[in-house]
């Protein structure tokens, strides 16, 4: 699901994104836009477009850089937060009797008894339980637009794994970026020793969480839609000497890594400034597919991939259950700047401790003495190729004409060589033997 925005012409050209200075960019209704451009033409020939949506049916904003005028730099104010706050106040009004809290899944609004009549033909949830209200992801229908805000919810095993990691790392505060299921789980199961704050683009959580634990937010441009919630967020970042804060993000896999990485850096800067600290990285968990490892590490070389396979309850292939599940398990992993030797993976779920790597790995991830690591990325048991001098997927064979291992079936040497990409740095134009990164490691 990882995507790259591209222009289609005679030669497909990758479109770059500039997001380090969004507040100086024009705004759409979803906050500061992003600047997209091609490398050959540069930013001056680029255009500004919505940070949240890559489908112009969802947000039509498009402005070429050359057409930008000073009056277009004014901020666009979204007044919907006041509306949502009023609905929340009515929903939580204590003068109503117990059991009168309802929700319309058709209109996505909370309701009281007197509000039910106009929604009589709709999909209604009546008399919400306290457990549902404390974690609305248990009944809210997940958003499923992959070109916008697609939501996939962690299964119980993943939630318990994260809880155990937070305990072992002695984390006392968690900032959840786009991870509403984790936030709901933590506030229900870990409230005695852990505080959680949710930043999410889905305004529906506005109805269930107070401003001191939720902010309506766009993670692609670090934009808050409500100033009151932003102030509470800044208060949450303030920690005591005995506290530790971890940043947890589960962005839609269609998000480009550049704006996500930029947001993580901006939050880290704010954290260190508020706490009068020298700049230092925040402990971070970034949930993303294993095949996007290169793009994550481009944003921060300190991020390493943990072997734990994360399952979702509402995705057919990102799970180890169901007829459409991958035989190698979910491709979703945790990328983190926390040393991997500090994370304990559950043995009963198919993980083991590697005494040579000094960290937990998957059972199928066999240590290679030649590579000096457990090399598997995708859930298969890799094998070492003496010609390539590295471990490759088990269904690869070495092609002497191409000078590397490749897929066994439907292999066209001419076509493959034209598109050959280095496995070390993921860039076209050379193979691993001539990779600058490999040469640096050997020095």
pLDDT at position 1: 27
The whole-number average pLDDT for the span 407-427 is 77
Tell me the per-residue pLDDT of 283-295, one tens digit each, with 9 for 90 and over: 999 999 999 999 9
pLDDT (tens digit, 9 = 90+) per residue, 354-379?
Answer: 999 999 999 999 999 999 999 999 99
Burial code of 221-231, b = ≥16 C-beta within 10 A, e = fewer? bbbbbbeebbe
- Rounded Cα gap, residues 163 and 186, in angstroms: 8
Question: Rounded to whole angstroms, how far apart are CA atoms 276 and 150?
Answer: 37
Average pLDDT in the chain: 88
Segment 3-21, tens digit of pLDDT: 333 333 333 357 788 876 6
308-334 burial: b if 16+ Cβ within 10 Å, else e? bbbbbbbbeebbbeeeebeeebbbbbb
Interhelix angle 180-189/156-168, rounded to 10 degrees, is: 60
Instruction: Identify the top-confidence range among 86-95, 125-134, 195-204, 383-392.
Output: 195-204
Q: Which phi-psi region, left, alpha or beta, contains residue 354 (left: φ > 0; alpha: ψ -120 to 50)?
A: beta
Summarised one tens digit per residue, pLDDT across range 218-254 is 999 999 999 999 999 999 999 999 999 999 999 988 8
pLDDT above 70 covers a percentage of the chain that reads 91
Q: How confident is the model at residue 79 (pLDDT cuts 50, 70, 90)?
A: confident
Q: What is the pLDDT of residue 440?
A: 54
Residues 6+ apart with CB under 8 A from 288: 2, 251, 253, 257, 296, 332, 333, 335
Confidence of residue 411 (pLDDT cuts 50, 70, 90): confident
Domain range summary for the chain, segments of one domain joined by +? 15-72, 80-128, 156-362
- Provide the 3-class DSSP secondary structure of residue 362: strand
Q: Is the pLDDT of residue 306 over 90?
A: yes
> Does 305 score more than 90 pLDDT?
yes
Proportion of the chain in helix, strand, coil states, percent, rounded to 5: 30, 20, 50
Structure token digits, residue 208: 């269930």
Going by the DSSP 8-state scheme, the letter that residue 175 receives in this structure is E
Residue 419 is predicted with a pLDDT of: 75
Six-digit token string for 206: 């506005």
Positive or negative: CA dihedral 167, 165, 208, 216: positive
Fold type of domain 156-362: Rossmann fold (3.40.50)
314-327 mean pLDDT: 68
Of the candidates 2, 57, 7, the one whose C-alpha atom is nearest the C-alpha of residue 37 is 7
Position 316 scores a pLDDT of: 59
């Amino acid at each position: 699901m990882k995507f790259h925005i591209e222009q289609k012409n005679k030669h497909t050209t990758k479109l770059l994104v500039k997001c380090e200075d969004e507040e100086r960019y024009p705004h759409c209704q979803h906050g500061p836009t992003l600047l997209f451009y091609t490398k050959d033409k540069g930013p001056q020939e680029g255009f500004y477009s919505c940070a949240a949506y890559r489908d112009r049916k969802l947000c039509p904003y498009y402005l070429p850089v050359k057409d930008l005028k000073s009056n277009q730099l004014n901020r666009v104010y979204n007044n919907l937060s006041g509306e949502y706050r009023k609905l929340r106040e009515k929903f939580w009004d204590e003068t109503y009797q117990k059991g009168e809290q309802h929700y319309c899944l058709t209109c996505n609004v909370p309701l009281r008894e007197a509000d039910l009549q106009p929604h009589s033909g709709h999909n209604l949830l009546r008399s919400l339980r306290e457990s549902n209200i404390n974690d609305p992801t248990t009944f809210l229908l997940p958003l499923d637009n992959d070109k916008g805000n697609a939501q996939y919810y962690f299964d119980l095993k993943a939630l318990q794994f994260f809880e155990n990691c937070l305990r072992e790392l002695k984390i006392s505060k968690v900032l959840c970026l786009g991870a509403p299921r984790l936030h709901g789980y933590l506030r229900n199961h870990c409230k005695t020793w852990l505080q959680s704050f949710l930043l999410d683009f889905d305004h529906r959580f506005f109805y269930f969480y107070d401003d001191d634990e939720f902010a309506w937010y766009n993670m692609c441009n670090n934009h808050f839609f409500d100033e009151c919630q932003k102030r509470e967020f800044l208060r949450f970042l303030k920690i005591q000497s005995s506290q530790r804060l971890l940043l947890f993000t589960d962005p839609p896999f269609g998000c480009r890594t550049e704006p996500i990485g930029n947001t993580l850096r901006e939050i880290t800067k704010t954290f260190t400034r508020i706490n009068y600290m020298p700049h230092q990285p925040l402990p971070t968990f970034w949930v993303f597919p294993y095949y996007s490892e290169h793009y994550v590490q481009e944003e921060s070389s300190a991020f390493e991939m943990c072997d734990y396979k994360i399952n979702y309850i509402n995705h057919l292939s990102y799970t180890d259950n169901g007829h459409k599940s991958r035989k190698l398990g979910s491709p979703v992993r945790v990328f983190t700047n926390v040393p991997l030797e500090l994370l304990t993976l559950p043995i009963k779920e198919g993980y083991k401790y590697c005494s040579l790597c000094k960290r937990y790995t998957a059972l199928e991830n066999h240590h290679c003495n030649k590579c000096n690591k457990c090399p598997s990325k995708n859930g298969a048991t890799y094998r070492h190729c003496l010609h390539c001098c590295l471990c490759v997927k088990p269904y690869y064979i070495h092609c002497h004409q191409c000078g590397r291992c490749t897929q066994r079936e439907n292999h066209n040497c001419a076509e493959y060589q034209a598109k050959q990409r280095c496995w070390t740095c993921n860039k076209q134009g050379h193979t691993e033997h001539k990779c600058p990164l490999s040469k640096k490691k050997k020095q």
